[in-house]
Amino acid sequence: MKYYNKMIFEMSKPGRIGYNIEEKNLPEVNLPKHLCRQTKADLPEVSELDVVRHYTNVSQKNFGVENGFYPLGSCTMKYNPKINDELATLPGFANIHPLQPVETIQGLLKVYYDLQEMLSEISGLKAYSLNPFAGAHGELAGLMIIKAYHEKNQDFKRNKIIIPDSAHGTNPASATVCGFETIEIKSNPDGTVNLEALKSVLNDETAGLMLTNPNTAGVFEKDITEIAALVHKAGGLLYYDGANLNALVGKAKPGDMGFDITHINLHKTFSTPHGGGGPGSGPVGVCEKLVEFLPNPVVRKNDKGYYFDEAKDSIGALGLFYGNASVYIRAYVYIMTFGKEHLSDIGPMAVLNANYVKDALKDLFELPIGGYCLHEFVFDGLKDQSIGVKTLDLAKRLLDYGFHAPTVYFPLIFTQSMMIEPTEVESKETLDEFIQVMRTIVKESIETPELVKTAPHNTIVRRLDEAKAARQPIVKFKDIK
Ligand SMILES: Cc1ncc(COP(=O)(O)O)c(C=O)c1O
């Protein structure tokens, strides 16, 4: 085994230590006996250098936007500027205790308040709670609001949420977790809502419709105002899945389109870190008539300053304390860095980049939706499918060239989906390199298909059983047989 592949337990040598602090220099502590360990902790015995090498090597086995191009469609993997981190880790923010009196955290509360206001203005909705911890968590909050609203109106029959078949899987999952029955409607060939299909399911049991706009195929829902009118006429509410807001930020507002509720994935549009379900953030915003259902807490302001408040008919808190504070600061810094004047520069650059890549590759890949796309687009596998090389093979081969794969096999409306979202942060040179590599892989698929079908060849691990890797991960060294 190569030295740099060794796990920290394999480096362990009895008696080896990182620091030697003489006992007489340690402060005296009198812990109650029942809190003291009875047996020695089973930890690796290693030097400081071993530890540093271990973690540095582990960090290099991962792929992030700071390693290379990460065109994961629907995920908006944009660069997280360092200034966000720098300001979020200022001691005045980083050292706050969650139980500190509000008079002593007015600076942080101003950030919360201003961020709520900025998100309101960006999305055209009346008010926000920052509380939820991810996009899907925001969906759950929004659906709980829909439920609470209908229940307050004694409209108990409304237990159905309509979701197009092009939607992200979290939409039906959140609706089900919230106790709704989900009604799937077939989309048009470009993934947009089929109005006839929608009309056929709207009735007095409709609680609401969940939509993302632009949709997951990167197409703007041009009938959105008609869709909103239909849903409202039937007595339902319109939920905006804000995962694709990056295409529209500063240009168009979900509130103006008729949406009543939205979540915003701060870790997408507003460049805060993604990662393993956290540290994400999915603030939820609502129109005027739903303000008093928002999750707690909300930050409000009076003549004495900022304070945490509770909405009158609140669905309650979705997490402990006050949400993902350091993420809010990062999003706040990002928005302030652009300012009101330049926030609307983001979407057009993202759209330009997506169209540039699509156009440069459309002769080799099946393009199920023609015309201009917005921030992302979908290829439906190789144009010549008789070669037998599938989307999964192409995605794995990309890893060998040092690029992250696009999102694959989603949306489900195509069989070989490959959803590419470059975002606005990438340079033309990076996009050209990606285009060149994609063309090379297509050539390989024709000349040496086995090479592509058995990829990746250069990564730390080869082709994994992805279901098992996600559901039964081995996270302890000692479990490895
Ligand atoms: C369209 C869409 N909706 C919802 C989500 C869920 O967001 P999160 O991953 O923050 O829970 C995603 C995530 O990628 C998405 O792309």
Instruction: State if residue 215 touches ligand 1 by the CB under 6 angstroms criterion.
Output: no
Instruction: State if residue 243 touches ligand 1 by the CB under 6 angstroms criterion.
Output: yes
Single-letter residue type at 155: D
Q: Using CA atoms, how far apart are residues 145 and 174, in angstroms rounded to an integer?
A: 13
Instruction: State if residue 212 touches ligand 1 by the CB under 6 angstroms criterion.
Output: yes
Backbone φ and ψ for 164, nearest 5 degrees, come out as -70, 155
- Could you give the domains of the chain? 3-60 (no CATH), 84-343 (3.40.640.10), 346-470 (3.90.1150.10)
| CA–CA–CA angle 136, 138, 141 (5° rounding) | 115
Q: How far is the CA of 243 from the centre of ligand 1 (A)?
A: 6
* Pair 366, 415: CB distance under 8 Å: no
State the residue for tokens 């081969």: 397
| Tokens linked to 17 | 């230590």
Instruction: State if residue 326 touches ligand 1 by the CB under 6 angstroms criterion.
Output: no
| Nearest alpha carbon, ligand 1 atom 9 | 135
Mutation to probe ligand 1, out of 265, 270, 284 (largest number of atoms < 8 A from CB):
265
| Tokens linked to 248 | 């529209």
pLDDT tens by residue, 57-94: 888 888 889 999 999 999 999 999 999 999 999 999 99
Instruction: State if residue 280 touches ligand 1 by the CB under 6 angstroms criterion.
Output: yes
Q: Which residues pair with 99 in a beta bridge?
A: none
pLDDT tens by residue, 206-265: 999 999 999 999 999 999 999 999 999 999 999 999 999 999 999 999 999 999 999 999
* Mean pLDDT taken over the chain: 94
Atom of ligand 1 nearest to the CA of 138: 11
Listed as own residue / partner, the contacts of 367-374 with beta carbons closer than 8 Å and 24 or more positions apart are 368/189, 368/190, 368/217, 368/414, 369/189, 369/190, 369/191, 369/217, 369/218, 369/219, 373/217, 373/218, 373/219, 374/214, 374/218, 374/219, 374/220, 374/244, 374/247, 374/248, 374/347, 374/350
Q: Using CA atoms, how far apart are residues 205 and 26, in angstroms rounded to an integer?
A: 68
pLDDT tens by residue, 127-166: 999 999 999 999 999 999 999 999 999 999 999 999 999 9
pLDDT tens by residue, 18-61: 888 888 898 888 899 999 999 988 889 999 999 998 888 888 88
pLDDT tens by residue, 438-449: 999 999 999 999
Q: How far is the CA of 168 from the centre of ligand 1 (A)?
A: 7
* Pair 319, 140: CB distance under 8 Å: no
* Pair 96, 105: CB distance under 8 Å: yes
